[in-house]
Structure 1
Amino acid sequence: MQTEDVARYLAGHPEFFDQHPHLLTDVRVSHPFEGRTVSIAERQILNLREKHKLLEAKLAELIEFGEENDAIAEKMHHLSRALMSVRELPALLQALKLNLHDNFGIPHAVLRIWDGAAPLAEFSAVSEAIKNWAEQTSAPQCGALPMNEMADWFEGAGHSRSFAAVPLKADRSIGVLVLASEDVQRFYPQMGTLYLHRLGELLAAALQRFLP
């Protein structure tokens, strides 16, 4: 008889230890941490305690993620109200910059809009390559800049080490929002982009009111 045969038998006959309860204390197995032997019942208790610790750690992690998501959602709600309450484009741009800096802690943000025209830096000319990138990209890109040209848009952000490029689309591609940080881990390639994507949709919807 092989050990696998014993394991299969016990798995298929859960009443075995009901019929032979003395084995739970007579049979000795190794302690998982201390190197001594313990009964099967004690070993089972130790296993349950270890599983309990793992579940507690996982629950604490889920609670932390939930609290972080709640905080981000509250900030997004505040930004939504700010963008939708303004009646002029300059006020919208100011509200965007203030919220990104003060509420989200993003030190540098640049917006470029090509659907329309106004005497504002946000309507400065961009290359067709950037327009094509924004048109063809369905999700924000984090880490390095997708186009080197975007680096020239920033003033006083020469030490930025991570970026997020967010295409702005409503019923059409209208621009791009680029965020930058000196923290290399603020925007990294594997990070989730759900809230960045929602930020792009929100901003595109708000901007449409002031575009042709």
Structure 2
Amino acid sequence: MSAEHEVIDLDEHDHRPADSDGTVPDRLVSRRTMNVRLVAALVIGVVLGGAGASELRVSRDERERNASVVLVALPEDSVSGDSGTEVLGVIQLDGQLAVINAGPAPITVGAAAGQRPGIQVRDTGQSKLLRPGGTGWIDVKVRIECSSSTAFESEPLSIRSSVETADRRIREVNYPVAVKGGAWDRAAEMPCAYLSYAGKRGG
């Protein structure tokens, strides 16, 4: 009967993995933890990289926006002045330039000047702060030679202006101003006709 106690029950199974010392499960857990950490680090890196790139893009766009200048200018109808001198055939007008900030950021328009044979324009030393889409008026002195054929030619007059942008930098900007048929052309017509008539009578 003692042999019954030595019989091996073949239905009993050891459910542990082949490596009975238990090191395989620990290795698997360690490997899985490492994989999870690597994936997490990769995801965090992608997120941070994307956020950094987005921030750089926003910063770059803001710098470009603050540095951009788009001006539109035209002579205003408000003009006054004297009738000039008979000897020189020159008239002086007090005029205005309407300046429109067509850019995306506020700007300050300072000195403005332009000239070509027959006409000279210069500002009176004032500056104007213009918000985006805003319009300001710059007082200017206009000198016109009545005998010149190029003063009011069809080509626009290039006005050079100093502009302080939102990033506090000063930039030189050139913008065209149409003068033919405009306020200065109309204001000069009668005084120049008078000077021409007076000159003929004097001759």
TM-score, reference length from structure 2: 0.34
Higher helix share: 1
Higher RCO (CA 8 Å, separation ≥ 6 residues): 2
TM-score, reference length from structure 1: 0.33
Higher strand share: 2
| Structure whose CA Rg is larger | 2
